[in-house]
Amino acid sequence: MVTTAPYGAWPSPIDARTVAAHDGRLAFVGVVGDEVWWTEPRPAEGGRRALVRRRPDGAVWSVLPEPWNVRSRVLEYGGQPWAGTVTERGPLVVFSNFADQRLYAYEPDGGGAPRPLTPLSEVGDGLRWVDPVLRPELGEVWCVLEEFTGDRPTDVRRVIAAVPLDGSAAQHRESVRELSDDRHRFVTGPRVSPDGGRVAWIAWDHPHMPWDGTLVMLARITAKGEFDEVRPLVGDLGPGTPGGGGAGESVAQIEWAADGTLLFVSDRGGWWQPRRIDPDGGGPAGRAEPGSGEDAGAAAGRALCPARQEEFGGALWTVGQRWFLPLENGTLAVIHGRGTTTLGILDPVSGELVDSVGPWTEWASSLAVHGSRIIGIAAGPHSSHEIVELDACTGRARVIAAGHTDPVAPAYYPTPEIRTFTGPGGRDVHAHIYPPHHPEHVGPEGELPPYVVWAHGGPTGHSPLVLDLELAYFTSRGIGVAVVNYGGSTGYGREYRERLRGAWGVVDVEDCAAVARSLADEGSADRARLAIRGGSAGGWTTAASLTATDVYACGTISYPILDLATWAAGGTHDFESQYLESLVGPFAEVPDRYRERSPLHHADRIAAPFLLLQGMDDVICPPVQCDRFLTEVTGRGIPHAYLAFAGEGHGFRRAETIVRAVEAELSLYAQTFGFTRDDIPVLELRT
């Protein structure tokens, strides 16, 4: 039986607690001996990240109990927080613990407790560690050290350091050996050559972000385990930076091949693509596609798959991301695609690429290999992220752990439409459209559904084509969702990504509005019941949209940037402290632009109700911006609500927070769009 009911008022088995229970993604997969390990979210356990292991017989369990939280705060966004190996006593894992950011060593089969390897620091936010590489033959673990030197978020230095595994540095900072100097502001973890004689890493500097320009640094490892003869090998930091001579070249990942050549992913040709270079300068290794225009010079390396205009890499938001890994037979496991991604095997000699088969449309930037086995994290439109193994010999792909289970009948999931809309000036705007869907309900004849535009964070980010129960929470109630990968998003080449250069608050706002208007023009959405929502940079786009356009009837603004000038002047963390130099323009040259685009200074233009959500421990987008924004809005007659969550940072991780936020958002839409819900608390809107 199909029942007719107003859009937005449909009943749904996907409640907010179901959304919270399935929030977050698996991450940082690796191999320890014959076992597969990874981290997974635990919203019901205070939002901690649990370290999980799977034995060859399929048994799965958590390595560490509560409250251990395997998560790094380097760059605030973190990165690879653990590394493991097998000793004569069994597995040995080194991990970063979120609460104190110390490195710990743990032997889970030994019956003891984790023991600290690094000291605490009283200066600023202390010492932090990420992307560890175990060197048991030296009795050390090598990783990135982020060390605060003062109380300001930009009082910080980063180097590659060696930490003794015997715990001798647990109380003594001087026992930590610094391997690289701090000539560059940012570095990734070390990659050691197969013969142990060389090491490479990625570096970059303010004011550029790693997707603007990076350098690959190369050094010789001495008999004492020190770095010597340090020099840049490939890359370009971009204009205005020492060592930057061109437009910038983003190298997102490096790995050594068995023959001693260096493999790397570079966007030199406009797309992040795999390349190979001989570090001895003997010329590029690989092949050039006839007529491809590839630079054959040794300094550029040689593209391994130049015929494919696709991304084989992505934005380096966290340290230790992996889009490719070499296999024992010389081929490469690669994650690639345009908009969506798949896992394939690339022959670096012939350039032939063979893709795996399966229902997955998104592979996380985390890979591990063990012999001919490739292990990754994948999801699809009807499945959440799960641990997948691809046998490179047989081509068979299968789920081996954390397999997707349906908390409700799949009939309640929406079916996405991959669309390309036309934005201002005829430019393409990519989006995923999720119409309202319910197996037993339809809207009244003649009524068009409300739609919510979702703007992702970053803004150099990307919304993947995967099952999201938070999205299904709305579509199963009769509210459509349009997920917009606006200009500036990754996944579509460097030219698309750089549309936002100098135009943040313009292009993103225009592209989201273009999708919303197009849906209304084609008769898919109710023009009077359009909304927008987003978090972080998406919160900025939401707030900017409410002040710059009249497209939306309401909006949900989560942990946003609201005032560009104060955010750029010490109002955020070091990693993004000069991001606005490219997104908006150099402040010294265009100070008025910072004020003109900031929602804080145009609160009088807001005519639509809004919900503001904020974590009180957020150091990336601190709550002070919300406080100032609310001061400007209060008393202007615009219905609004502000929910602040203690113990939450940049993004919500705790189950109770997620439940409250999701239900509050639905209540905002109910009150604005004119439908009734009696299954959620009524959000109190003030003026």
Q: What is the DSSP string of 492-545?
A: S-HHHHGGGTTTTTTHHHHHHHHHHHHHHHTTSS-TTSEEEEEETHHHHHHHHH
Measure the N-to-C terminal CA separation of the chain; round to a whole number of Å: 43
| Assigned token pair, 151 | 């109380």
Q: Mean pLDDT, to the nearest integer, of 210-235?
A: 96
Which pLDDT value is given to residue 242? 65
CA distance 328 to 369: 9
Position 454: which residue type?
Answer: W
Confidence of residue 246 (pLDDT cuts 50, 70, 90): confident
Q: Mean pLDDT, to the nearest integer, of 36-43?
A: 97
Q: Mind spelling out the 3-state secondary structure of 580-644?
A: HHHHCCCCCCCHHHHHHHCHHHHHHHCCCCEEEEEECCCCCCCCHHHHHHHHHHCCCCCCEEEEE
Q: Mind spelling out the 3-state secondary structure of 171-201?
A: CCHHHCEECCCCCCCEECCCEECCCCCEEEE
536 with 618: CB under 8 angstroms? no
Confidence of residue 125 (pLDDT cuts 50, 70, 90): confident
Which pLDDT value is given to residue 244? 60
8 with 473: CB under 8 angstroms? no
CA distance 308 to 3: 48
Sequence-distant (6+) residues with CB within 8 A of 478 are 5, 6, 7, 8, 9, 10, 436, 438, 441, 443, 449, 450, 675
Q: Mean pLDDT, to the nearest integer, of 197-207?
A: 97
Sequence-distant (6+) residues with CB within 8 A of 6 are 443, 444, 447, 478, 675
Residue 308 in this model has a pLDDT that exceeds 50: yes
Confidence of residue 110 (pLDDT cuts 50, 70, 90): confident
Which pLDDT value is given to residue 511? 98
Which pLDDT value is given to residue 290? 31
Nearest to 506 by CA among 475, 465, 549: 549
Residue 296 in this model has a pLDDT that exceeds 50: no
Mean pLDDT, rounded, of the chain = 95
Position 286: which residue type?
Answer: G
Could you tell me how many residues make up the chain?
A: 687
Nearest to 418 by CA among 497, 362, 459, 356: 362
**Residues forming beta bridges with residue 412, ordered by sequence position:** none
Pairing of strands 324-326, 302-303: unpaired
CA distance 622 to 368: 36
Provide the 10 A C-beta neighbour count for residue 59. Answer: 10
Residue 84 in this model has a pLDDT that exceeds 80: yes
Q: Mean pLDDT, to the nearest integer, of 170-179?
A: 97
Nearest to 334 by CA among 289, 275, 287: 275
Position 424: which residue type?
Answer: P
Residue 181 in this model has a pLDDT that exceeds 60: yes
Residue % of the chain over a pLDDT of 70: 97
Sequence-distant (6+) residues with CB within 8 A of 280 are none
Sequence-distant (6+) residues with CB within 8 A of 60 are 52, 53, 54, 401, 402
| Assigned token pair, 176 | 């930590």
Residue % of the chain over a pLDDT of 90: 94
CA distance 581 to 544: 18
Q: In what order do the strands lie in the sheet with 156-164?
A: 127-135, 140-148, 156-164, 177-178
Position 333: which residue type?
Answer: A
| Assigned token pair, 420 | 């390309």
Q: Domains in the chain, start-ordered, CATH in brackets?
A: 3-15+408-673 (3.40.50.1820)
444 with 436: CB under 8 angstroms? no
Which pLDDT value is given to residue 243? 57
Which pLDDT value is given to residue 426? 97
- Rounded to two decimals, what is the model's pTM? 0.95
Question: How many Å is the maximal CA-CA distance in the chain?
Answer: 78
Confidence of residue 507 (pLDDT cuts 50, 70, 90): very high
Confidence of residue 245 (pLDDT cuts 50, 70, 90): low
272 with 212: CB under 8 angstroms? no
Residue 617 in this model has a pLDDT that exceeds 80: yes
Confidence of residue 288 (pLDDT cuts 50, 70, 90): very low
Confidence of residue 295 (pLDDT cuts 50, 70, 90): very low
Nearest to 256 by CA among 317, 307, 177, 324: 324
CA distance 5 to 481: 19
Element (H, E) at 367: strand 362-370
